[in-house]
């Protein structure tokens, strides 16, 4: 009997999975599922140990959900790119696979791999799907059929397309004719460094992810625009880890949003959250049309001529949350301890690394990937290039955040800072954003570093360095 093989990659769910639904659309064939555990060389980027633990948890949940549908999940480990293709070929031969189904990944290495796979399996029908996006790359283009270079016109065009033709969710597969699998499942263990994650913060399986999405949309999404910038408030969805590994689809997010806020597409309640989901799409479309971004090249060429500081002790102070700027340090400790950081803080710490320390944005990009539970090449690269003014942002390079006033604005009472920097607990609220001034004045000793840079001075140096690079062009 012919069999269909569903190759899971960054789409670890059974609901609204386009490739899985297509693989299961006929009851007359066997359906098998495969996951090839990624190794460093294989993906475009290394995975953080927290993301690996999160992935393992999701895979175990997926294995169970598939077994209930009568679909066995095979998990293989391949040491490199070629070995993964050999693994696929072997599985296809052993199980007499006639059709291979998968959802596209848009990173450059992954796309190269898929081309090689289709060549190696030319005797098998390979079917790919644009599943990790609401609208496929190439479907939202300028009048000249080019990819947008700036977010706002992209978003406007995107919203127009959504209003014309809303992408629907597909149903999860029905139980296969042979019925659910009765064998006891062997727990999946990934051979990859792992670090535990907090399952209260990050939904550990697909069912929890779906409830988190419903809960967020029913209770929080309408207030998202007023709360999303304050890290002491739990005002964002914390679904990024699930979206990065495809435990949820963006279409599910869209429909949950529209159920709670039916006028979100018209700019009413919920529109700001939709806008964030469109940022995610923008960066995915962008790496498809500018594959050099996956190789960590800047979007704006001349910015590669900036003379960066190679200051390893400053880099380390930033990584460890010991810069002497409380909002930066609290944010970095949140990242190091949980694998996640609030979006406002990602912008602040990224600006600080690049514009205050004049350290190459790629150092930050790499460090984030080594820590994030939601590490996603397109979003991370986009965010770093935005902060470094090397990317698609419409604002010029002289937009430089002041880390102290950012703290005052977005964590006025210092509640977030105190949560992550207990050593500042005794500092009065009025002094929480500049504790060294208070400590000097009141002759207190605090176990907290003095600022490693003078912001004003650093700002001028950075402006000069960017200006020089622009002239050198
Ligand atoms: P919500 O505010 O609830 O937003 C909903 C979803 O929209 C998110 O889960 C995410 O999938 C998407 N999203 C939101 N904001 C953005 C954005 N600016 N760009 C792209 N997608 C967005 N996001 C990642 O998923 N992975 C990363 O590796 C990543 N690295 C970043 C690095 C920097 C320097 C910056 C500035 C941003 C980065 N982001 C990244 C985007 C954003 O910070 C996170 O998606 C967001 O903080 C996740 O929290 P949430 O799920 O509560 O988001």
CATH, residue 145: 1.25.40.80
Does the annotation count 279 as an active-site position?
A: yes
Same structural domain, 320 and 396:
yes
Q: Which of 302, 308, 423, 436 is catalytic?
A: 308
Ligand 1: which atom is nearest the Cα of residue 283? Answer: 20
Number of domains in the chain: 3
Q: Under DSSP, is residue 7 helix (H, G, I), strand (E, B) or coil?
A: strand
Paired strand residues for 452: none
Same structural domain, 215 and 334:
no
On whether residue 195 sits in a domain, the answer given is no
Same structural domain, 149 and 27:
no
On whether residue 351 sits in a domain, the answer given is yes
pTM comes to 0.97
Does the annotation count 144 as an active-site position?
A: no
pLDDT for residue 415? 98
pLDDT for residue 40? 58
Annotated binding-site residue? 20: no
Domain termination site, one of 129, 158, 186 = 129
Domain termination site, one of 262, 289, 316 = 289
On whether residue 175 sits in a domain, the answer given is no
pLDDT for residue 44? 56
Same structural domain, 49 and 94:
yes
Cβ of 270 below 6 Å from ligand 1: no
pLDDT for residue 330? 98
On whether residue 255 sits in a domain, the answer given is yes
On whether residue 177 sits in a domain, the answer given is no
Residues in the chain: 473
Residue 334's CATH number: 1.10.579.10
Same structural domain, 397 and 334:
yes
Sequence-distant (6+) residues with CB within 8 A of 300 are 389, 390, 391
Residues 127, 95: contact at Cβ < 8 Å?
no
Does the annotation count 168 as an active-site position?
A: no
Same structural domain, 85 and 35:
yes
Residues 127, 99: contact at Cβ < 8 Å?
yes
Same structural domain, 310 and 416:
yes
CA distance 449 to 441: 16
- Using the 8-state DSSP alphabet, how is residue 355 labeled? I
Type and span of the H or E element at 441: helix 435-442
- Using the 8-state DSSP alphabet, how is residue 31 labeled? E
On whether residue 199 sits in a domain, the answer given is no
Residue minimizing CA distance to atom 49 of ligand 1: 238
Same structural domain, 9 and 97:
yes
Does the annotation count 343 as an active-site position?
A: yes
Cβ of 350 below 6 Å from ligand 1: yes
Does the annotation count 361 as an active-site position?
A: yes
pLDDT for residue 473? 78
Domain termination site, one of 264, 289, 314 = 289
Residues 166, 149: contact at Cβ < 8 Å?
no
Annotated binding-site residue? 224: yes
- Using the 8-state DSSP alphabet, how is residue 290 labeled? -
Same structural domain, 43 and 147:
no
156 to 52, 212, 282, 411: CA distances (angstroms): 36, 28, 12, 32
On whether residue 21 sits in a domain, the answer given is yes
Cβ of 220 below 6 Å from ligand 1: no
Same structural domain, 321 and 367:
yes
On whether residue 192 sits in a domain, the answer given is no
Same structural domain, 343 and 456:
yes
CA distance 362 to 291: 16
Same structural domain, 65 and 141:
no
Cβ of 216 below 6 Å from ligand 1: no
CA distance 3 to 97: 5
Q: Which of 118, 223, 279, 436 is catalytic?
A: 279
Residue 119's CATH number: 3.40.50.620
**Which range of residues forms the domain containing residue 222?**
132-169+205-289
Q: Under DSSP, is residue 170 helix (H, G, I), strand (E, B) or coil?
A: coil
| Consecutive 10-residue averages of pLDDT for the chain (473 residues) | 92 98 92 87 73 97 97 91 89 96 96 94 96 98 96 98 97 93 91 94 97 98 97 98 98 98 97 98 98 96 96 98 98 98 98 98 97 98 96 80 98 98 96 95 92 98 96 86
**85-92: Cβ within 8 A, 24+ apart:** 85/113, 85/116, 85/117, 85/120, 87/36, 88/7, 88/34, 88/36, 88/117, 88/120, 88/121, 89/120, 89/121, 91/5, 91/32, 91/34, 92/5, 92/121, 92/124
Annotated binding-site residue? 374: yes
Annotated binding-site residue? 86: no
What is the distance, to the nearest Å, from the Cα of residue 115 to the centroid of all Cα atoms in its chain?
24
Does the annotation count 109 as an active-site position?
A: no
């Amino acid at each position: 009997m012919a069999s269909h093989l569903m190759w899971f990659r960054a789409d670890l769910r059974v609901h609204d999975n386009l490739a899985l639904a297509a693989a299961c659309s006929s009851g007359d064939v066997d359906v098998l599922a495969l996951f090839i555990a990624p190794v460093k060389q294989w993906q475009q980027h290394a995975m953080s140990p927290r993301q690996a633990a999160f992935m393992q948890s999701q895979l175990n949940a997926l294995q169970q959900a598939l077994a209930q549908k009568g679909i066995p999940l095979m998990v293989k480990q391949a040491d490199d790119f070629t070995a993964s293709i050999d693994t696929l070929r072997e599985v296809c031969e052993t199980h007499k696979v006639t059709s291979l189904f998968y959802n596209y990944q848009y990173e450059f290495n992954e796309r190269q791999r898929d081309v090689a796979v289709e060549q190696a399996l030319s005797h098998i029908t390979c079917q790919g799907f644009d599943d990790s996006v609401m609208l496929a790359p190439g479907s939202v283009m300028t009048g000249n059929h080019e990819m947008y270079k700036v977010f706002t016109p992209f978003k406007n065009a995107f919203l127009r397309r959504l209003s014309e033709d809303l992408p629907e969710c597909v149903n999860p597969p029905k139980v296969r004719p042979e019925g659910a699998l009765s064998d006891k499942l062997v727990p999946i263990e990934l051979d990859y460094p792992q670090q535990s994650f907090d399952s209260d913060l990050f939904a550990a399986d697909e069912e929890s992810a779906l409830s988190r999405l419903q809960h967020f949309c029913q209770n929080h999404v309408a207030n998202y625009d007023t709360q999303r910038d304050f890290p002491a408030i739990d005002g964002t969805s914390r679904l990024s880890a699930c979206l990065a590994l495809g435990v949820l689809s963006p279409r599910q997010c869209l429909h949950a949003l529209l159920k709670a806020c039916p006028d979100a597409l018209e700019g009413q309640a919920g529109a700001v959250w939709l806008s964030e989901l469109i940022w995610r799409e923008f960066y995915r479309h962008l790496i498809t049309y500018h594959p050099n971004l996956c190789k960590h090249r800047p979007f704006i060429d001349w910015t590669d001529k900036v003379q960066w500081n190679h200051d390893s002790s400053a880099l380390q102070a930033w990584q460890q949350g010991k810069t002497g700027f409380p909002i930066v340090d609290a944010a970095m400790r949140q990242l190091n301890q949980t694998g996640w950081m609030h979006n406002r803080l990602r912008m602040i710490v990224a600006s600080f690394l690049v514009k205050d320390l004049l350290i190459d944005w790629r150092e930050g990009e790499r460090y984030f990937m080594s820590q994030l539970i939601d590490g996603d090449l397109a979003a991370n690269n986009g965010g770093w290039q935005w902060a470094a003014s090397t990317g698609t942002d419409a604002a010029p390079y002289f937009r430089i955040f002041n880390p102290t006033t950012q703290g005052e604005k977005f964590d006025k009472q210092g509640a977030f800072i105190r949560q992550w920097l207990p050593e500042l607990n005794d500092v009065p609220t009025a002094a929480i954003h500049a504790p060294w001034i208070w400590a000097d004045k009141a002759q207190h000793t605090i176990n907290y570093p003095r600022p490693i840079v003078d912001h004003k001075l650093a700002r001028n140096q950075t402006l000069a360095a960017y200006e020089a690079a622009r002239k050198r062009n």
